[in-house]
Structure 1
Amino acid sequence: MFSFDAALLALDLIGVFFFAVSGSLLAARKRFDVVGSVLLASLVGLGGGVIRDVLINAGPPAVFTNPWYLLPPVLAAGLVFFLFESVQRYTSLLTYFDAGRLALFCMSGALKAINAGLHPVAAVLLGVTTAVGGGVLRDITANEVPQLFDAKDIYALPAFTGAGLTVLVWNLGAFTWATALAIAMLVFAFRILAWRRHWFVPLAVNGWHRQES
């Protein structure tokens, strides 16, 4: 039987873990200490959810009312602490974990907005904000150009796709664990294909060209 609350919590916790791993991997590459790794993992894993809960006036953010939200960042930092030497050769790992988190958070944000009674357009926008918010906080804190503003990459469009499909499927009464998995896989594939094939959207001014890295 599908449970809305169980689905929301599961998507949130798994998304927090994926995002926290991406934060700890970046902390390791920046040579932060273990405390910095935990803090960056917490910021990136929980930041989007905090922004979401504040925007919809949902009371205290979930991280301050449910201690389960504190576990994924600690696990992520511990995982990277012990296994980084084994996985650092996989330079794409950060992107894969980030794509997994993007796929999950765009759905959980949209579902939380639906549960709060927001209209469909607002639900899509909140799903996107939840998905990209933590990544922006992560990159700014680590002194990186946020991926959201990288002209040579597509970051927000997969989140828009996932949030839009979530709202559509929910309104059709067809949102189940199976459809949730399908949406997550589609968003993940979209993000990874865009990254691997160097897809991009037009620049802000017609006639401008991208600088080669």
Structure 2
Amino acid sequence: MLQELFTPSVQHALDLAGIFVFAISGALLAVRKNFDVFGIAVLAEVTALGGGLFRDLIIGAVPPAAFTDLGYFLMPLVATAMVFFLHPEVERIQVGVNVFDAAGLGLFCVTGTVKAYEYGLGLTMSAVLGLATAVGGGVLRDVLANEVPSLLRWDRDLYAVPAIVGATIVALCIRFDTLNAATAGAAALTAFTLRLLAMRFHWRAPRAWNRRSATADDGQ
């Protein structure tokens, strides 16, 4: 089904682009945490490949694509080298990196959902794995860096919700037999746009209704 949506060369190029921008975010966090070059590389690899690796292991697509395509492994190392030597410059274009990260989020929630469905999962679980593909690497990145995952923090702009929306659109398109390159692109674009709007207007998920807590907001 993925081959029907995109040609193999286009799919590969999109995957590498998404891997690169995710790796940049992991490497930048490692620099902020004062990691050495090995730590920077590890965080870049985990951020870029963690979601897809988790998905492939769950659906039984072994060995995972991260271990069968050398480009998937090398691209995070390219990002590592770039951040290692040029991190002040990369920090200055953080807004641009965030835009590309949002594009990667949109792409991976789509391809993750489709691949899970191809391996026999139902539509709901396929959408769940589409979400995991898009955000799993970021969760692993934060855990390794001893941070509360951004996915779980109320004070961060919406990240999972755009991916959920994109994956749900794909699942509905599969259900009604309307999935093609145009509708898949629309799903990815929707997730991408929602993420950009969340960053622009600082949209956040609601917390518990009538919440009562003695903990200060800035400590949560």
What TM-score results when the alignment is normalised by the length of structure 2?
Answer: 0.84
CA distance in 2, matches of 1:138, 1:212: 22
| Residue equivalent to 2:144 | 141
Corresponding position: 1:88 with 2:94: no
How many angstroms does 1:161 deviate by? 0.8
| Residue equivalent to 2:211 | 207
Q: 1:137 to 1:5 in 2, by over 3 A?
A: farther
| Residue equivalent to 1:182 | 186
Corresponding position: 1:44 with 2:44: no
| Residue equivalent to 1:17 | 20
Alignment of 1:1-213 (within 5 A): 2=4, 6=8, 8-93=11-96, 95-152=98-155, 153-171=157-175, 172-176=177-181, 178-208=182-212, 211=217
CA distance in 2, matches of 1:90, 1:187: 22
Paired residues in the alignment total 212
- Is the contact between residue 12 and residue 108 of structure 1 (CA under 8 Å) also seen in structure 2? no
CA distance in 2, matches of 1:22, 1:136: 12
More off after superposition, 39-48 vs 167-176: 167-176
CA distance in 1, matches of 2:48, 2:137: 6
- Is the contact between residue 25 and residue 94 of structure 1 (CA under 8 Å) also seen in structure 2? no
More off after superposition, 32-41 vs 155-164: 32-41
CA distance in 2, matches of 1:179, 1:13: 22
- Is the contact between residue 27 and residue 36 of structure 1 (CA under 8 Å) also seen in structure 2? yes
Q: 1:190 to 1:3 in 2, by over 3 A?
A: closer
Amino acid in structure 2 at the alignment position of 1:86: E
Secondary structure in structure 2 of the residue aligned to 1:189: helix
- Is the contact between residue 99 and residue 191 of structure 1 (CA under 8 Å) also seen in structure 2? yes
How many angstroms does 1:113 deviate by? 0.8
- Is the contact between residue 49 and residue 130 of structure 1 (CA under 8 Å) also seen in structure 2? yes
More off after superposition, 201-210 vs 143-152: 201-210
Q: 1:174 to 1:20 in 2, by over 3 A?
A: same
Secondary structure in structure 1 of the residue aligned to 2:34: coil
Q: Could you tell me the percent identity over the aligned residues? A: 46
How many angstroms does 1:139 deviate by? 0.9
CA distance in 1, matches of 2:109, 2:43: 20
How many angstroms does 1:207 deviate by? 3.4
- Is the contact between residue 108 and residue 133 of structure 2 (CA under 8 Å) also seen in structure 1? yes
For structure 1, the 5+ residue unaligned runs are: none
How many angstroms does 1:156 deviate by? 1.1
Amino acid in structure 1 at the alignment position of 2:168: G
How many angstroms does 1:92 deviate by? 3.6
CA distance in 1, matches of 2:92, 2:24: 16
- Is the contact between residue 131 and residue 163 of structure 2 (CA under 8 Å) also seen in structure 1? yes
For structure 2, the 5+ residue unaligned runs are: none
What TM-score results when the alignment is normalised by the length of structure 1?
Answer: 0.86
